[in-house]
């Protein structure tokens, strides 16, 4: 699994905004983050959100990002638009649901798909929610603390 991009956001744009306008808090790209066991990513909106939260960190597939860009003819689409923390390549994220896995020495438990919601139709393009169904990413719990870094290996 290659870590291509790492993002955090201090506050929510869509989560908890049903029936209201979205907020405009940016996703901040970082070269590294600190993952804290059972708590989340230090500095992210879901850090210490609630006990045993199943979405302490989210992963999104680079391959899905590329496919959505091609399908909707969106040149220059930034991966942060999907509001997932870690953009990775070379891994079937759905295969990690219900499983423990390790990235850069940090252990995670895949809990469920990070299912897309109707906000994606406005943030990405009309039809994006349907196009992302079954490949919206992976929500996970952090099982061991550590630093996760953007991978500089070639693709």
Instruction: Specify the pTM.
Output: 0.89
Q: Tell me if 65 is assigned to some domain.
A: yes
Q: How many helices (H) does the chain have, and how many strands (E)?
A: 3, 10
d(CA 138, CA 101): 12
pLDDT at 154 over 70: no
**C-alpha distances in Å from residue 62, one per residue of 23, 28, 104:** 25, 18, 18
Tokens of 92: 């079937």
**C-alpha distances in Å from residue 154, one per residue of 32, 36, 40:** 18, 28, 28
CB 150 within 8 A of CB 1: no
Q: Tell me if 106 is assigned to some domain.
A: yes
Stronger pLDDT, 123 or 68, i.e. the higher one = 68
Stronger pLDDT, 131 or 123, i.e. the higher one = 131
The CATH number of residue 65's host domain is 2.40.33.20
Q: Tell me if 155 is assigned to some domain.
A: no
Q: Tell me if 104 is assigned to some domain.
A: yes
pLDDT at 115 over 90: no
β-sheet bridge partners, residue 91: none
Work out the angle at residue 37's Cα, subtended by the Cα atoms of residues 64 and 11, and round it to the nearest 5 degrees. 60
Report pLDDT for 18: 55
User: pLDDT tens-digit profile of 15-25?
Assistant: 654 566 655 76
pLDDT at 29 over 60: yes
Structure confidence at residue 117 as a pLDDT band (50, 70, 90): confident
**Average pLDDT of the chain, as a whole number:** 90
Q: Tell me if 111 is assigned to some domain.
A: yes
DSSP code of residue 87: E
Q: Where are the alpha helices (DSSP H) in the chain?
A: 62-71, 119-123, 128-132
Q: Tell me if 154 is assigned to some domain.
A: no
pLDDT at 14 over 70: no
Report pLDDT for 131: 93
Q: Tell me if 54 is assigned to some domain.
A: yes
Q: Tell me if 100 is assigned to some domain.
A: yes
> What mean pLDDT do residues 26-55 have?
94
> With pLDDT > 90 as the criterion, what percentage of the chain qualifies?
74
d(CA 120, CA 93): 19
β-sheet bridge partners, residue 40: 36
CA nearest 82: which of 131, 36, 37?
A: 131
Residue range of the domain that includes 92: 2-16+24-149
CB 115 within 8 A of CB 15: no
d(CA 54, CA 104): 20
How many domains would you assign to the chain? 1
Stronger pLDDT, 39 or 121, i.e. the higher one = 39
């Amino acid at each position: 699994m290659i870590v291509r991009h790492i993002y955090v956001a201090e506050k929510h744009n869509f989560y908890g905004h049903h029936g209201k306008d979205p907020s405009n808090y940016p996703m901040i790209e970082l070269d590294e983050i600190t993952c804290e066991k059972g708590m989340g990513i230090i500095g992210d909106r879901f850090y210490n959100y609630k006990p045993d939260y199943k979405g302490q960190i989210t992963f999104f597939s680079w391959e899905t990002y590329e496919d959505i860009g091609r399908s909707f003819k969106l040149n220059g689409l930034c991966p942060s638009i999907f509001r997932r923390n870690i953009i990775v390549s070379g891994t079937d994220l759905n295969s990690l649901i219900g499983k423990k896995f390790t990235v850069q020495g940090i252990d995670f438990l895949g809990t469920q798909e990070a299912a897309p919601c109707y906000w994606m139709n406005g943030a990405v393009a009309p039809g994006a929610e349907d196009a992302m169904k079954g490949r919206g990413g992976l929500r996970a719990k952090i099982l061991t603390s550590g630093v996760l870094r953007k991978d500089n290996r070639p693709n």
